[in-house]
């Protein structure tokens, strides 16, 4: 009588097993279809909540919540921060917090469904990972600071403000694109 044995997985088989269970990346949505969907989401958000889209306000309230834990006296003395977390005010009692949470969950779910969740650092072939992270941190910090100075991030300014034809929002977006094109020449070596 012959017995059938199943081979035991070896250490070398681990990458192949992980690759077999990984979701296959599906193609991106066509840009025009994505724009139409985004417009419908923005209209629905205005219609149901009376507010537009935006994410920096939710992140700002998270930071103010942490600041209120560690430096509550400072929060209570600063008029801008008091409106969000002073005294008995709950910093999470705002529509923008739920938009921020929804954006995070929706992005993670979409990445998983379309097979695009992986840990990687996208960079040019001659750019070290540390340099890419440094520039990403620097650019993100400048953009985050600018978003608070402009009283809204790109989604809040461009989408919500642009949809209601706010002159400041249109000026902000033209400035973002002009600055991006002007700086692209000087950082092109990071991607070549």
Contact (CB, 8 A) for 56 and 160: no
- Shortest CA distance to 142 belongs to which of 169, 115, 175, 110? 175
Task: Please say if the pLDDT value at position 13 is more than 80.
Answer: no
Q: Tens digit of pLDDT for each residue in 86-142?
A: 788 899 998 888 888 888 899 899 889 888 888 888 888 888 999 999 989 998 888
SS (H, E, C) 137-172: HHHHHHHHHHHHHCCCCHHHHHHHHHHCCCHHHHHH
Residue 62 Cα distances to 26, 59, 85, 139, angstroms: 33, 5, 10, 20
- Shortest CA distance to 176 belongs to which of 161, 190, 189, 191? 161
Q: Which pLDDT does position 154 carry in this prediction?
A: 76
pTM score: 0.67
Q: Tens digit of pLDDT for each residue in 32-91?
A: 999 999 999 899 988 988 888 877 888 889 989 999 999 989 998 988 888 888 788 899
Place of tokens 């430096």: 71
State residue 6 phi and psi, 5-degree precision. Answer: -100, 135
């Amino acid at each position: 009588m012959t017995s059938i044995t199943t081979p035991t997985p070896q250490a070398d088989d681990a990458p192949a097993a992980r690759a077999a269970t990984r979701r296959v990346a599906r193609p991106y949505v066509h840009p025009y279809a994505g724009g139409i969907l985004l417009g419908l989401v923005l209209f629905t958000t205005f219609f149901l909540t009376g507010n537009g889209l935006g994410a920096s306000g939710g992140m700002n309230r998270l930071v103010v919540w942490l600041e209120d834990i560690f430096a509550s006296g400072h929060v209570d003395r600063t008029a801008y921060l008091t409106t969000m977390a002073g005294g008995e005010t709950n910093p999470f009692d705002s529509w923008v917090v739920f938009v921020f949470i929804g954006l995070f969950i929706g992005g993670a779910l979409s990445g998983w469904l379309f097979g695009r969740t992986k840990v990687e650092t996208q960079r040019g072939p001659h750019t070290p990972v540390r340099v890419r992270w440094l520039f990403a941190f620097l650019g993100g910090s400048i953009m985050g600071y600018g978003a608070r100075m402009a009283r809204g991030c790109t989604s809040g300014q461009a989408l919500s403000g642009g949809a209601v034809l706010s002159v400041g929002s249109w000026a902000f977006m033209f400035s973002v694109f002009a600055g991006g094109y002007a700086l692209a020449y000087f950082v092109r070596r990071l991607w070549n």
